[in-house]
Structure 1
Amino acid sequence: MATRDADVELRHDEPNLARLNLVLAPNRTDLYEWTKQLTLDALGGIHITCTAPRNSLVPHGVDNDILLGLVNAAVLQGLPEDDTVRVTSRELLRLSGITPSARAYEKLRESLRRLQYTAYDVIDSWYDGSKHRWRTMSFSLIVKHSAEDNTADVTNLGQWRAQTVLAIKLDDGVIKNIRAGHILPLNFELLAQLTQPLTRNLFRTLSFQRQGGGQPVLAYSVPLGVWASHLGMQEMRPDTVMRALQPAHVELKATGFLRDVTYQGRGKSRVVHYTFGQVDATAPDPEAAALLARYGVSGGRTLLLAQSHGLQAVKRAVGVLEALLRTEYRTKIRNKAGILTDILEQPHKYDTLLTQAEGRQSSTPAARHSAAQPPSDADAPVAVRDTAAAHIILMGTYDQPTERREIRDRVSALYVGGRVTTLDLIGLLGKSTAEAQAVVAQWTA
């Protein structure tokens, strides 16, 4: 399934991958296994053992970018039920921020093999977002992958190219967490400016420390020795680690992600202190995502729409959909999820449709039924202006406390009496009690 251009502007990360840093940051390594046991934050210790197969190396460098590309492909494709991402080589490189080339396709092949055949043992450090607890897990990031050429060109048989179609099954623990909404937003515009795998790795890891705990923080401090081990620079001297990190720090400061980087102390007691720039990327609102899922929007798509549009826009779109479902236009709605997505992307189009649909229905006999006298034929058009319709469109946002319930009852009466429109009613979604009271006062003046 191809990804849409508009969707590529939004990037996401699975928080465990960002926090645990399962791929070594350096571009080169000679390691076939590693172990780290350390503490980075208040969430607890990290204990991981990584083992590559014989005659192979552990994932490192650009493998981190490929892994991020796979996570985003899964989200953009709606989190396929079989946990399998289907993309061309070119699409995956593009999602990974890598310029396609013959060499890049070969490197992609090598990267996927490392991610598939390397085993990880994570002890009490993997957060299960669906059950909200820490787990011990043994897994490979990729369960299996296959490649198929869909061209008639038989030259260089077996060599990957732009059109090579890949089917890559990800570990179900990663996909399950994303389905549960355990996801970290990333600023794609900023990410695209970063030129080196080490810088992008540092960006992902620091992004978690910046906002992975919920509320964004202004700064983060960590012992340099612990930081070096976490990034995969275990054997380096402190001054060598500082020199290796300097270009990445310069680049992250140039983009505005970091405001400053300072060091305190000497030798093994040295601490690196990061001060972050202004907060930008925002997490998807869980209530907005839940609303979209209720109407059949797929898991990955709910996260994208919730993040890009926000809760109030989603509530408004649901209100418009519910109003349309109570008009004759409902016979044209075959796919609620598709219509809801379209309402979010083209709200003015559906405002017009709703106004027209209500205008037509007001002249039908069914529309003159009151809430106390519903149509006897279950297939007859549903009356728009009844109390039940008003309550549905207000989505329970005015049911509690007493002051808001009084507003709901007054507005419902105005709605049934034809003194306010459905769009007026929808406009109350997201307003505070005082704002809503002021609006209702204007309507009754």
Structure 2
Amino acid sequence: MTSPSLPALRSKFDDLNLAEASLISCLTRLKPGETSWEHSFEIAGRQMHVECLGNSYGFPHGPDNDMMLVLSNLFLEQGQPRDNSVHCTAYELLRMLGRTDSSQNYRIMHDSLTRLSGTLYKISGWLDHPGGIARRVTFRFLERIEEIQGEVKHLNLKSFGAGTKLKITLDAVVAASLTSPRVRPFDLDFMLKLSGSQSRTLFRLLDTLWYSDPKAAASGYLEFDLVELGRLLRLTNLRPDSIRRTIMPIHEELTASEFLKNVTFSGRGVKQRVRYVFNPQRPDYPLTVAQLELVGRIKTFGITDVQARGYVRKHTPERVGERVRLAEAILAATTRIRRSPAAYAWDILTDELGKYTMPLSRPEVAAVPAATVRSPIRDVEGEAERAFEELRQMHGQLPPEEQWAVHRGALRLMLQRSLGSDLWKILEARCVAGDLEAGTLLREANVAVANLDLQHFLDSLRAELRS
């Protein structure tokens, strides 16, 4: 068996079935005898029931969250093998988990694999397709773990060592779900940079629900009953004061890392609720095409690039678009501006007091020779064009999988319904493989829309995907 060189994972996805079921406990250690839990709950708008039956190592918790995600992405990165098995050395697996090469970490990794292969999950509410019919599945995350240690001169085998070669086989239910439309881009790098396993577990849960729940995406926050949140984190002590002691340090890290904007508690005792308000976007996350277009429009006011990008990151695209349209209309309708247009526009954009309203009509403008008129529309188009070029340069150096992760949402909105599910899967596979460049494809689609030529573009793309 040969093991590929895998210094770091390029694939960065998560399976919504696994993530929404919240299978891994936030606890860092278990008490003797804690081997199972059971929970009925509503998540992402549907009812779920999950039963977890662990083994003598306890139920999955702590670092098992990292292991589940890394093995899922390793399966995708190695081409979704037909036998559902991934190959690596123990040392490579440690590196993908972001851990150092130490005997303690090999032991932690061994115990994690043992829990994931020995724990039985029964889940009602499993979806094979978005909007599909929910069903019940029973599985172990890992079906089998095989170790190949080379020549053995005695029977006292070590559980793991740096050179141990591993063949890890995922359960057929898990492997099938990882090839379904229920897989979505996930910021694995950010998660693994968080210092504690508890922070990584809560981040995965909140990020999943923010993605899955349309109301959360629109409002920018999630709210839970405190005790229900404790259950979702698979805590065993559900006293409100104990739950708060567990999650308060996590909140500090997720706020400091700018994933969360703030966290507030309300109510008392068992009736307490916790609200998570999200930052629309972290400073290290690439801007989307829509955001870059908004940056270009803001810069036409004379506002600096740094200011424009900071403003776009701070607010939702809907909010930014609304304020930009208001500023454009007011500036177009204003004949005399006492201060600089940039300062005036910035005050309109950042106004939280309702000082500005949309003008009812634009004033008549005297005829001016066309050569002397600076067209706001043309300026915006030029900024958008430069924004697209900036986006291409920004993402052109990324691996194909990451380019796909950045552009997948915009491409899905524009193309998936017209292409159909089969051709969409082919498109995804070819973009991830690098046969097609996701950024270039999105640019060409936008140009086709602007030129009222989308149908011809779709016909050509269908022919290429079928060839």
User: TM range, normalised to the smaller chain?
Assistant: 0.5 to 0.7
- Confirm or deny: 8 A CA contact 2:89 2:163 kept in the other structure: yes
Q: In structure 1, give the amino acid aligned to 2:434.
A: T
Structure 1 segment 72-221 matched on structure 2, within 5 A: 72-123=73-124, 125-129=125-129, 132-150=132-150, 157-213=157-213, 216-217=217-218, 218-221=220-223
What is the TM-score normalised by the length of structure 2?
Answer: 0.61
Matches within 5 A, 1:278-357: 278-279=280-281, 306-308=404-406, 341=434, 344=437
1:341 to 1:153, Cα distance in 2 relative to 1, 3 A: farther
Distance 1:433 1:313 in 2: 13
Q: Is the 8 A contact 1:129 1:177 kept in 2?
A: no
Letter aligned with residue 180 of structure 1: S
Q: 1:341 to 1:248 in 2, by over 3 A?
A: same
Tell me what 2:49 maps to: 47
Give the letter for the 2:143 counterpart: V
Asked if the contact 1:312/1:430 (under 8 Å) is kept, the reply is: no
Task: Supply the distance in 1 between the matched residues of 2:452 and 2:253 (Cα, whole angstroms).
Answer: 47
Q: Distance in 2 between matches of 1:3 and 1:429?
A: 36
What's the CA shift for 1:337?
6.2
- With normalisation by structure 1, the TM-score equals 0.63
Conserved? CA contact 1:121–1:138, under 8 Å: yes
Unaligned runs of 5+ in 1: 285-300, 315-335, 348-394, 398-426, 438-445
Q: How many residue pairs were aligned?
A: 320
1:94 Cα offset (Å): 2.3
**CA–CA separation in structure 2 for the residues paired with 1:130 and 1:165:** 37
Alpha-carbon distance change, 428 to 136 in structure 1, aligned in 2, over 3 angstroms: closer
Q: Unpaired segments of 5 or more residues in structure 2?
A: 289-398, 413-428, 454-467
Counterpart of 1:229 in structure 2: which amino acid? R
Using the aligned pairs only, state the percent identity: 26
Q: Measure the CA separation in 2 of the matches of 1:28 and 1:311.
A: 38
Supply the AA of the counterpart residue of 1:118.
T
Residue from 237, 244, 258 that aligns with 2:239: 237
Assess, with a 3 A threshold, how the Cα gap between structure 1 residues 431 and 220 changes in structure 2: closer, same or farther. same
Are 2:44 and 2:212, in contact at CA under 8 Å, matched by a contact in 1? no
2:446 maps to amino acid: G
Per-residue CA distance 1:163-208 (angstroms, 9 max, x = gap):
2111111122222122123213222342232111111000111111
Q: Report how far residue 99 of structure 1 moved.
A: 2.6
Q: Deviations over 1:191-245 (max 9, x none)?
A: 2321111110001111111113468441100100100011122423211211110
Provide the secondary structure at the position in 1 that maps to 2:73.
Answer: helix
- What letter matches 1:262 in structure 2? T
Change (3 A) 1:100 1:274: same
Q: 1:160 to 1:429 in 2, by over 3 A?
A: same
Amino acid at match of 1:224: L
CA RMSD of aligned residues (A): 3.7
Q: Distance in 2 between matches of 1:168 and 1:62?
A: 17
User: Which of 34, 37, 42 matches 2:40?
Assistant: 37
SS for the counterpart of 1:35 is: strand
Question: For the structure 1 residues 111 and 76, does the alpha-carbon distance in structure 2 shift closer, same or farther, using more than 3 Å as the test?
Answer: same
